[in-house]
């Protein structure tokens, strides 16, 4: 607003000075006018956070203690959320799925998690909204295999025992990985296990490979040493991290949603400008050692957006879930109805690239 008005203001002032219609006091003030214009033009802090009046709004957010939730961590740590007048109760969870569960159980107003649990929740008929993607990565999933079990290329996985956490993003990644390499699910032995169990399982030889997830990829790699081999495949995988909220909450607290987003946008800017400090803060906050944080941090792209990739990703996974009967749903829901764009549009309109 300022930027468009300055030239016209300057022009009208100039005209009045030249025509000599202004009183002497104004003349003196006008002497300093160019200085003011200069200072204003070059000060970039155009949208300062609005200072909150009235009592702070209470809100509970369930978040995962993994580096890909950095945007939320920073927003919380740097006080961007409280600056918006929010009193945030932040509940930590080891995985996003657990955070979403808390949301679905009504224990939280908002949650952070990958898109897979969100897809399951929506196909399962849960009334939730995706508010924004807060990060994304194509290298957050990988298959780590033991070379001593004769695995050198993706094709060598045929007939091998693969540890996987069924119904999660690493299940979807493994499925895509096998399928695109011409291996069907039946041609491998799938062993269901939690992410925490995977390192032990592969070291002790109960499985030949594991489809796992950051930060466990690095954990497993470290323990296997040169016996291990890691298959990333950026071509077949894209994982958006989402901020979700119950539809009920969004309906009743649209302003709170905007405030949260405004804080997250500030955090995004902060992270991109201060990556070093962000890593240190996150490392302390989620109590993860610096080496692991450093390994994982750059795998993610920290941007608060809403774009078409989210829809495609959700649909791809829904297709897979239906086909593998991982959900009771028989048709792919219209995910666009579960994406709430209004808040992000009003906070940062060019961040919304979702065609409705």
Partner 1 sequence: MKIETRLKLNYLISLSVIIILLIVLVWIYRMMIKAEENEDLAADIRKNALERIMFRDEYLMTNVERARAQFISKTKTVDNLLTRALHNFTKTSDKALCEEIQKSFDITNTIFSRIVNIRAKDSNLRRGSIASPEGEQRLIGQLILKAYDLNGKIARLNDSAELTATNVREALVLLLLCFISLMVISNIYNSVSIGNLLGKRVKMISEGTTIIGAGNLGYRIAVSGDDELSILARQTNDMAAQLQNSYAALEQEIGYRESANRELEAFSYSVSHDLRTPLRAINGFSAAVIEDYADKLDDEGKRLLNVINDNAKKMGHLIDDLLAFSRIGRQELKKQEIDMHVLFNSAAQNFIYTVSERVFHLDIKPMLAAIGDPVLITQVIINLLSNAIKFSEPKDSIDIEIGCSPEEHENIYYVKDHGVGFDMQFADNLFGVFQRLHSQDQFEGTGVGLALSQRIIHRHGGRMWAEGIVNEGAIFYFTLPKSRNAE
On whether the CB atoms of residues 210 and 79 are closer than 8 A, the answer is no
Q: How far apart are CA 159 and CA 208, in angstroms?
A: 10
Q: Is 34 a residue that touches partner 1 (CB under 8 A)?
A: yes
**Cβ 338 to partner 1, closest distance in Å?**
18
CA 175, 181, 185, 187 torsion-angle sign: negative
Q: Of these, 82, 91, 230, 309, which contacts partner 1 (CB under 8 A)?
A: 309
Q: Both tokens of residue 63?
A: 């978040």
Q: Is 181 a residue that touches partner 1 (CB under 8 A)?
A: yes
Total residues binding partner 1 (CB under 8 A): 42
Q: Indicate the angle between helix axes 70-77 and 254-273, nearest 10 degrees.
A: 100
On whether the CB atoms of residues 338 and 129 are closer than 8 A, the answer is yes
Residue 26 or 329 having the CB closest to partner 1: 26
Q: Is 18 a residue that touches partner 1 (CB under 8 A)?
A: yes
Q: Is 308 a residue that touches partner 1 (CB under 8 A)?
A: yes
Residue span binding partner 1 (CB under 8 A) among the ranges 35-43, 92-100, 191-199, 222-230: 35-43
Nearest in space to 87 (alpha carbons), one of 63, 52, 59: 59
**Cβ 83 to partner 1, closest distance in Å?**
24
**Cβ 265 to partner 1, closest distance in Å?**
14
Strands 239-246 and 110-114: antiparallel
Q: How far apart are CA 151 and CA 14, in angstroms?
A: 77
Q: How far apart are CA 276 and CA 294, in angstroms?
A: 9
Q: Of these, 180, 192, 222, 291, which contacts partner 1 (CB under 8 A)?
A: 180
Q: Is 305 a residue that touches partner 1 (CB under 8 A)?
A: yes
Nearest in space to 290 (alpha carbons), one of 182, 186, 190, 218: 218
Please calculate the CA angle 223-164-309 and round it to the nearest 5 degrees.
105
Residue span binding partner 1 (CB under 8 A) among the ranges 31-39, 87-95, 201-209, 247-255: 31-39
Query: In the Cβ-directed half-sphere of 268, how many Cα atoms lie within 13 Å?
Result: 19
Q: Is 313 a residue that touches partner 1 (CB under 8 A)?
A: yes
**Number of C-beta neighbours around residue 261 at 10 A:** 24
Q: Is 26 a residue that touches partner 1 (CB under 8 A)?
A: no
Q: Is 345 a residue that touches partner 1 (CB under 8 A)?
A: no
Q: Is 346 a residue that touches partner 1 (CB under 8 A)?
A: no
What percent of the residues of the chain are helix, what percent strand, and what percent coil, each to the nearest 5?
50, 20, 30
Residue 245 or 267 having the CB closest to partner 1: 267
Q: Is 2 a residue that touches partner 1 (CB under 8 A)?
A: no
Q: Of these, 126, 149, 238, 253, which contacts partner 1 (CB under 8 A)?
A: 238
Q: Of these, 57, 197, 221, 315, which contacts partner 1 (CB under 8 A)?
A: 315
Residue span binding partner 1 (CB under 8 A) among the ranges 46-54, 88-96, 212-220, 300-308: 300-308
On whether the CB atoms of residues 154 and 177 are closer than 8 A, the answer is yes
**Number of C-beta neighbours around residue 185 at 10 A:** 13
Q: Is 336 a residue that touches partner 1 (CB under 8 A)?
A: no
Which residues of this protein are in contact with partner 1, per CB under 8 A? 3-4, 6-7, 10-11, 13-14, 17-18, 30-31, 33-34, 37-38, 41, 136, 138, 176, 179-182, 234-238, 272, 301, 305, 307-309, 312-313, 315-316, 319, 350, 353
């Amino acid at each position: 607003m300022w930027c468009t008005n300055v030239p016209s203001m300057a022009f009208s002032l100039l005209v009045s000075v030249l025509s000599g219609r202004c009183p002497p006091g104004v003349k003196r003030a006008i002497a300093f006018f160019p200085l003011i214009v200069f200072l204003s033009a070059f000060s970039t802090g155009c949208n300062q956070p609005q200072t909150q009046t009235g009592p702070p709004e209470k809100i509970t957010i369930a978040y995962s203690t993994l580096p890909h939730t950095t945007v939320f961590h920073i927003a919380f740590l740097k006080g961007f959320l409280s600056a918006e007048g929010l009193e945030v109760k932040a509940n930590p969870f080891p995985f996003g799925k657990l955070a979403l569960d808390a949301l679905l159980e009504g224990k939280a107003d908002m949650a952070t998690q990958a898109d897979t649990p969100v897809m399951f929740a929506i196909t399962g008929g849960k009334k939730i909204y995706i508010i924004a993607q807060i990060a994304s990565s194509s290298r957050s999933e990988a298959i780590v295999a033991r070379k001593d079990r004769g695995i050198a290329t993706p094709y060598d996985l045929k007939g091998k025992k693969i540890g996987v956490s069924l119904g999660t993003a690493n299940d979807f990644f493994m499925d895509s990985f096998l399928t695109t390499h011409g291996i069907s699910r039946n041609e491998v032995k799938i062993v269901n296990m939690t992410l925490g169990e995977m390192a032990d399982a592969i070291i002790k030889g109960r499985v030949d490979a594991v489809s796992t997830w950051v930060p466990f990829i690095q954990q497993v790699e470290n323990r296997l040493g040169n016996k291990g081999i890691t298959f990333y495949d950026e071509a077949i995988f894209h994982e958006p991290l989402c901020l979700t909220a119950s539809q009920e909450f969004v309906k009743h607290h649209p302003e709170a949603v905007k405030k949260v987003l405004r804080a997250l946008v500030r955090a995004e800017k902060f992270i991109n400008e201060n990556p070093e400090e962000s890593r240190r803060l996150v490392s302390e906050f989620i109590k993860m050692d610096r080496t692991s944080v450093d390994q994982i941090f750059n795998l993610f792209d920290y941007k608060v957006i809403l774009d078409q990739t989210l829809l495609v990703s959700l649909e791809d996974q829904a297709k897979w879930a239906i086909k593998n009967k991982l959900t009771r749903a028989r048709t792919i829901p219209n995910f666009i109805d579960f994406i709430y764009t209004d808040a992000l549009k009003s906070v940062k309109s060019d961040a919304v690239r979702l065609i409705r």
